[in-house]
Amino acid sequence: MVENGSGRLIELTVNGHVHSVPDRGDTLLGVLRDDLGLTGAKDGCSPQGQCGCCTVLVDGQPRVACVTPARRVRGRSITTIEGMTQNRRDTWGSALCASGGSQCGFCTPGIVLRLEASLDKLDDEFSRADAQAVSEQALLAHMCRCTGWQTITDAFVHVATGTACAAPELTEQRAERIRLEGGVPQVMSPASALGEGGFAADTAPDDALVAVMAGNGQWVVGENLAEARSLAGKVQGRRTTMDHHYPVALPEGQFVAALQTTWTDPAYLETDASWCVPGGTPSSSLANGGAFGGKLDGHAEHAASELAEHYQRPVLVLFSREDVMRLAPKRPPLAGGIREDGSGVLRVAQTAGIEDLVAQFAPEFTVETVDVPGPATSISVRGAVWAEIAVLRSALTADSQPIEVVSPTGGVAVASGGVDGIRLTVRGGEVLDQNALVSYCVGAAHMGWSWATSEAMTTDADGEIHDLTVRSLGIMRAIDTPTISVEVVDEPGQTPVNVSDAVFAACAGLAWRASGHRQTWPVDLGSDVA
């Protein structure tokens, strides 16, 4: 540690270069991003050491930078995604694109570094199964919401075996398929796989103030993130010991099958962020991902615009993970049943647009809305309400038959199998780009299966959320995810439509079937199915 005119400095060796940075008592992640401008390491849990998005290498070993004090790594060699050789960057970027293992690209820089370090765990005569096992163990330290894990493992196998794989070309057809499946324009390229997707927190002007939310809901502004967090004085939330509950009671009636859902979170990894200059247009918090229907309220954008005007300086607004949990809209919890003739009753938390949605998608269902204390809800969240209806309909399909779901847009997914492997056949007009379509379908399969079997968010009787960490949401790990195969049926000349939402619903129905149509979700197959 050395002194300068304004205080103490820490010397850190990052990517082969020695840097002297202010000793603010900051984390390694804060120093990398705020002092050195190395934005490849991301903040997805703010900072709880749970998501793996900030992973770097310290003396060649993976370390989550968000909970590592910068002082602790003095005199050690730190490598970020920017510090990998261009050859290794190209290798990983191409492999992730070729496998469909990167969509928004927020989590993949940290994953790349951990998987790169894990290559040493393979012996000279390893098999594909060995490589898969090594990657699945490595991925236990990470979270990814887009890709369904399997495609990331495929990329690891490509790299481990030295298999040549070229990244798909960025054609108009590929861009359109990505837009259809992701809901917004999105880039899936080697650069985005390495974390260069243009996220708001990465692209703010160097002189931007940083605003974070205090415990009272007010914005607190500092010259950097560490200062803003210190001024806010907010202690990060933790996982509760309370059990989740079912806020909507089942409707009365005789049903073939019935289900009750609890609160869940979209659980996108990139927390809401936006920056704005005085008099300017705020950057979109959607950045390079659609957030599965979340982030549409414009809360971060509105705050960035107002604060920039107030301070007459650029301002970067950053939600913490806790802010996302409390403020981001959720899928409405509901309870419903289906009769043998296909009609049914649905009771659902009051949410704008629900009656019209049910009337269009399932006119044979009676819908009852009820007031439920809790966070804001939205039908924009992936498959909200219609997916639950599709799941209820799946109970009328014989167990020996595949489950077919047609989404409101006309996308079709046919799902069979179960815990030993999910098999999908999908069609949604002209394919446009098979790589992108399969990537989104694998991701949606994981998301649907995970939603039905393991995801929940705990609130109390007053609707206050008590699960405030990303791990507490129950997102299924790579090692627990069934293998997923996708057969794509091309329909040349037919208007292309979203397919992955139908996959999401079909795989949730498949998981529900595997549980014996248990009434309460999540169904926790791990304790019931061999």
Helix, strand, coil shares of the chain, percent, nearest 5, are 35, 20, 45
The residue among 166, 117, 159 whose CA lies nearest residue 141 is 117
* Half-sphere exposure at residue 204, Cβ-oriented, CA atoms within 13 angstroms: 30
Q: Give the residue among 321, 265, 327 at the shortest CA–CA distance from 299.
A: 327
Non-local CB neighbours of 449 within 8 Å, separated by 6+ positions:
422, 476, 481, 482, 507, 508, 510, 511
Whose CA is closest to 169, among 192, 155, 190? 190
**239 pLDDT tier (thresholds 50, 70, 90):** confident
Summarize pLDDT for 278-319 with one digit per residue, the tens. Answer: 999 999 999 999 899 888 778 999 999 999 999 999 999 999
Return all residues near 291 (Cβ < 8 A) that are at least 6 apart. Answer: 266, 268, 270, 285
Cα→Cα distances 244→122, 271, 472, Å: 41, 24, 11
Q: 393 near 342, Cβ under 8 Å?
A: yes
pLDDT confidence band for 1 (50 / 70 / 90): very low
Cβ(504)–Cβ(448) under 8 Å? yes
- Is the pLDDT at 37 greater than 80? The verdict is yes
The whole-number pLDDT of residue 190 equals 96
| Mean pLDDT over each residue of the chain, to the nearest integer | 94
Question: Is there a common fold for 86-197 and 390-527?
Answer: no
The neighbouring-strand residues paired with 10 are: 21
Confidence of residue 241 (pLDDT cuts 50, 70, 90): confident
DSSP letters spanning 213-229: E-TTS-EEEESSHHHHH
Q: What is the dihedral sign for C-alpha 258, 380, 499, 301? A: negative
CATH code given to domain 86-197: 1.10.150.120
Assign domain 390-527 one CATH number from 3.90.1150.10, 3.30.70.1380, 3.30.365.10, 3.40.190.10.
3.30.365.10
Q: How far apart are CA 193 and CA 88, in angstroms?
A: 13
4-14 pLDDT per residue, tens? 445 699 999 99
Decide if 245 contacts 465 (C-beta within 8 A): no
Share of the chain above pLDDT 90, in %: 88
The tens digit of pLDDT for each residue in 42-53 reads: 999 988 899 999
| pLDDT score at 2 | 40
Whole-number pLDDT of residue 528: 40
| Residues with Cβ within 8 Å of residue 326, at least 6 apart in sequence | 375, 465, 468
What pLDDT was estimated at residue 52?
A: 97
Mean pLDDT confidence for 367-392: 97
Distance CA 414, CA 408 (A): 15
Q: Which of 328, 348, 325 is nearest to 336 (CA)?
A: 348
**Angle at which helices 434-453 and 150-161 pack, to 10 degrees?**
130
DSSP string, 403-417: EEEE-TT--EEEEEE
DSSP conformation letters of 377-393: B-TTSTTTTHHHHHHHH
> What is the band of 443 on the pLDDT scale with cuts at 50, 70, 90?
very high
CATH code for the structural domain at 2-83 = 3.10.20.30
CA angle 347–414–477, rounded 5-degree value: 75
Residue 376's pLDDT is 94
List pLDDT tens digits, range 467-525: 889 999 999 999 999 999 999 999 999 999 999 999 999 999 999 999 999 999 999 88
Rounded CA-CA distance 121/360 in Å is: 54
SS3 state of residue 427 = strand
Backbone Cα Rg of the chain: 23
What's the pLDDT score for residue 506? 98
> Quick one: CA dihedral 231, 106, 270, 184, positive or negative?
positive
Q: Does pLDDT of 171 surpass 60?
A: yes
206-234: burial string, b at 16+ Cβ within 10 Å, e else: eebbbbbbeeeeebbbbebbbbbbbebeb
DSSP states of 456-507: ---B-TT--B---SSGGG-PPPGGGSPPEEEEEE--TTSPP---HHHHHHHH
Evaluate whether 319 touches 231 at the Cβ level (below 8 Å).
Answer: no
What is the tens place of the pLDDT at every residue in 133-167? 999 999 999 999 999 999 999 999 999 999 878 99
Quick: pLDDT tens for 87-140.
999 999 999 999 999 999 999 999 999 999 999 999 988 998 899 999 999 999
Write the single-letter amino acid at 281: T
221: phi then psi, degrees, rounded to nearest 5: -115, 135
Domain segments of the chain as ranges? 2-83, 86-197, 390-527
Say if residue 380's pLDDT is above 60. yes
Is residue 215 over pLDDT 90?
Answer: no
Q: Under DSSP, is residue 52 helix (H, G, I), strand (E, B) or coil?
A: coil
pLDDT at 529: 36
pLDDT category of residue 240 using cuts at 50, 70 and 90 = confident
- For 414-442, write each residue's pLDDT tens digit: 999 999 999 999 999 999 999 999 999 99
Pairing between strand 209-213 and 315-318?
Answer: parallel
Tell me what pLDDT residue 480 has. 95
